[in-house]
């Protein structure tokens, strides 16, 4: 019985991925110990933020970094930093930004909802989002035509939530931004490459600590030193409402050290073997068909893609609801259920979970549950 079952909640089997609504990820012992140790001592928080920025930047190759309480907070703080340019007279007025360059241009296919609309998070920092192009096709000229004297930056969202086809590439977005003398901000919340976007020339890149890195609930902005200084200044403005604790910071620092020491190729191979085992067992269940697929956004993540024969008498959405009912509650990736597709992400599974998924799915198909 885990700690949540002890307070009367269901046991959750997470086959959805590192999702916020399921608590994102679990902590290793070393990360948990670092967080506990951080919480048991005092420190000057501003000094800790600066030192953490140095330590984070050693992992990203950037000039400096600003720790945040989450990736979404990083988006709001980055917007506020670029709009206020760190000036107290401006940051004290945010999110009201009238009279300041405050327009942020993003592609319409990147205007996503990841549990909250990304445009809402931008507005928290005083930004006025401007969506360029159409949901399935954006031309570079449409990005350039949207730029005016009130534009503060371009924004690129690297996520499976986004439309993957017909969008202007990040390389071209960087070129457009810099040709117009503008910074570009990249939302790389769940990305596994901590150095690639800095090396490409992006000015501010935002990561979640709790997703790929498996840290405490946290995030960070990494990039150009001047812009990062403007972001840090927001802790005397809107950032105060989304401040990050010392225990979160120490857990993040420990998780980054651990992340760099991991054999990511070996992890990917283990995930592949788990998916292959699941597919083999699921394909033995009547009406079920499972095959291997890769992550939509190009990450080296393997998943199981399930479809169901109409003869089973249930839609994928109905099967998903049955998987979630009872104890344990199995959660799959929901984004393609309306298309009749169920996706299983095996990365969060703990020993025994994959067998329980097969058992529960077999019971649903046999009509026993």
Q: What torsion do the CA atoms of 233, 234, 236, 241 make, to the nearest 10 degrees?
A: -150
Which residue from 40, 39, 83, 86 is spatially nearest to 66, judged by alpha carbons?
86
pLDDT at 296: 75
Q: Evaluate whether 66 touches 242 at the Cβ level (below 8 Å).
A: no
Quote the CA–CA distance of 83 and 97 in Å, as a whole number.
8
DSSP bridge pairs for 203: none
Beta bridge partners of residue 65, listed in sequence order: 222
Provide the residue ranges of all domains of the chain, joining segments of one domain with +: 3-22+263-366, 43-261
pLDDT in the model for residue 299: 76
The residue that leads in pLDDT, 335 or 158, is 158
Diameter of the chain by CA atoms? 66
Does the domain spanning 43-261 belong to CATH 1.10.10.10?
no
286 SS3 class: coil
Mean pLDDT computed over 195-213: 97
- What is the tens place of the pLDDT at every residue in 99-141? 999 999 999 999 999 989 999 999 999 999 999 999 999 999 9
Whether residue 95 has a cis bond before it, omega within 30° of 0: yes
First-to-final CA distance of the chain: 23
Across 175-189, average pLDDT: 98
Confidence (pLDDT) at 262? 86
Q: Which residues contact 146 (CB under 8 A, 6 or more apart)?
A: 103, 105, 130, 132
Least confident of 8-17, 49-58, 99-108, 292-301: 292-301
Mean pLDDT of 170-178: 98
Residue 263 has a pLDDT of: 85
- DSSP code, position 168: P
CATH of domain 3-22+263-366: 3.90.1150.180
- Which of 162, 73, 71 minimizes the C-alpha distance to 112? 162
Q: How far apart are CA 137 and CA 103, in angstroms?
A: 21
- Core vs surface per residue 250-283: b (16+ CB within 10 A) or e: bbbbbbbebbeeeeeeeebeebeebbeebbebbe
- 340's enclosing H/E stretch is none
**What pLDDT does 196 receive?**
96
Residue 369: band (very low, low, confident or very high) from pLDDT cuts 50, 70, 90: very low
Residue 104 DSSP one-character state: E
Q: Radius of gyration over alpha carbons of the chain, in Å?
A: 22
| pLDDT at position 116 | 94
Distances in Å between the Cα of 200 and the Cα atoms of 16, 32, 162, 207 are 30, 33, 20, 16
Mean pLDDT lowest for which of 6-10, 304-308, 357-361, 364-368?
A: 364-368
Minimum mean pLDDT range among 78-92, 96-110, 216-230, 252-266? 252-266
- 3-22+263-366 matches 43-261 in fold: no
Per-residue model confidence (pLDDT) at position 326: 87
* pLDDT, mean of residues 178-207: 97
- The answer on pLDDT for 358 being more than 60 is yes
pLDDT top residue among 284 and 369: 284
Residue 55 pLDDT greater than 60, yes or no: yes
The band of 179, judged by pLDDT with boundaries at 50, 70 and 90, is very high
3-state secondary structure of 21: helix
The pLDDT assigned to 332 comes to 96
Instruction: Dump pLDDT digits (tens) for 321-350.
Output: 999 998 899 999 988 999 999 999 999 998
**pLDDT score at 1:** 81
* Among the listed residues 66, 61, 127, 69, the one whose alpha carbon sits nearest the alpha carbon of residue 94: 127
DSSP string, 176-214: HHHHTT--EEEE-TT-S-SSHHHHHT-SEEEEESSSTT-
Res. 88: pLDDT tops 80:
yes
Give the predicted TM-score (pTM) of the model: 0.92
What does the mean pLDDT of the chain come to?
A: 94
Least confident of 4-8, 159-163, 300-304: 159-163
Residues 207-227: pLDDT tens digits? 999 999 999 999 999 999 999
Q: What is the mean pLDDT of residues 235-250?
A: 97
pLDDT at 164: 87
Q: CA 67, 36, 73 angle in degrees (round to 5)?
A: 25
Contacts of 147 (CB under 8 A, 6+ apart): 105, 176, 180, 182
Q: What percent of the chain has pLDDT over 90?
A: 86
């Amino acid at each position: 019985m885990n700690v949540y079952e002890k307070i009367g909640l269901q046991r959750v089997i997470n086959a959805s991925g590192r999702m916020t609504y399921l608590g994102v990820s679990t902590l290793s012992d070393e990360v948990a110990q670092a967080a506990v140790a951080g919480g048991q001592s005092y420190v000057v928080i501003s000094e800790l933020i600066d030192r953490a920025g140095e330590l984070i930047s050693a992992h990203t190759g950037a000039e400096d970094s600003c720790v945040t309480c989450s990736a979404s907070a990083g988006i709001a703080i980055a917007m506020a930093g670029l709009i206020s340019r760190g000036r107290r007279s401006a940051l004290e007025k945010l999110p009201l930004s009238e009279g300041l360059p405050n327009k942020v241009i993003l592609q319409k296919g990147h205007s996503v909802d990841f549990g909250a609309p990304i445009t809402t998070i931008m507005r928290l920092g005083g930004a006025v989002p401007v969506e360029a192009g159409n949901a399935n096709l954006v031309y570079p000229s449409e990005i350039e035509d949207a730029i005016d004297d009130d534009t503060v930056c371009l924004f690129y969202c690297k996520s499976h939530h986004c439309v993957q086809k017909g969008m202007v590439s990040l390389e071209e977005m960087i070129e457009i931004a810099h040709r117009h003398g503008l910074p570009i901000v990249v939302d790389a919340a769940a990305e596994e490459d901590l150095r690639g976007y800095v090396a490409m020339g992006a000015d501010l890149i935002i990561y979640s600590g709790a997703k790929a890195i498996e840290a405490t609930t946290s995030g960070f902005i990494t990039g150009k030193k001047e812009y990062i200084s403007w972001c840090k200044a927001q802790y005397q403005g809107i950032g105060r409402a989304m401040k990050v604790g010392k225990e979160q910071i120490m857990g993040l620092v420990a998780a980054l050290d651990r992340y760099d020491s991991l054999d990511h190729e070996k992890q990917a191979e283990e995930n592949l073997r788990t998916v292959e085992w699941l597919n083999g067992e699921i394909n033995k269940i009547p009406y079920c068909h499972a095959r291997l697929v890769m992550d939509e956004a190009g990450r080296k993540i393997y998943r199981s893609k399930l479809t169901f024969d109409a003869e089973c008498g249930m839609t994928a959405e109905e099967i998903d609801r049955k998987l979630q009912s009872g104890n344990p509650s199995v959660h799959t990736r929901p984004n393609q259920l309306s298309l009749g597709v169920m996706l299983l992400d095996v990365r969060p599974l703990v020993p025994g979970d994959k067998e329980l998924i097969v058992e529960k799915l077999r019971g649903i198909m046999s009509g026993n549950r």
